[in-house]
Amino acid sequence: MDEQLKSKLVTLADANRKAMDGTTEPIKRIFEENHIVIGVWQDPDNANGVGFLVLKGGKLLHDIRTTGKSRPARASAIPCSCYEQAVAAKEVFGELDQR
């Protein structure tokens, strides 16, 4: 993942953090309104200090990568406290088949 995309995902997650109200509604809305959703968290074990996980849109990203054909898609990112929280969000709100 290039640095510009990483920076954009962190910015999106930070902006969405402001909408978080302690309920699952803001997260549910983000999943409903976007084709691709990425979980973002601080990760001291990662070289750049940030971890990422595709929560929704894995099949779409896989298809784009394998065919080389881009297509319009709305994307966003949600802030997570850790990898485990990102996995939980994927299990609750994401797609069953991410490939």
Digit-by-digit pLDDT tens for the chain (99 residues) are 788 999 999 999 999 999 999 999 999 999 999 999 999 999 999 888 999 999 999 999 999 999 999 889 999 999 999 999 999 999 999 875 443
pLDDT of residue 96: 53
Domain definitions of the chain by residue range: 3-93
Beta-carbon contacts of 72 under 8 Å, excluding residues fewer than 6 positions away, are none
Pair 51, 43: CB distance under 8 Å: yes
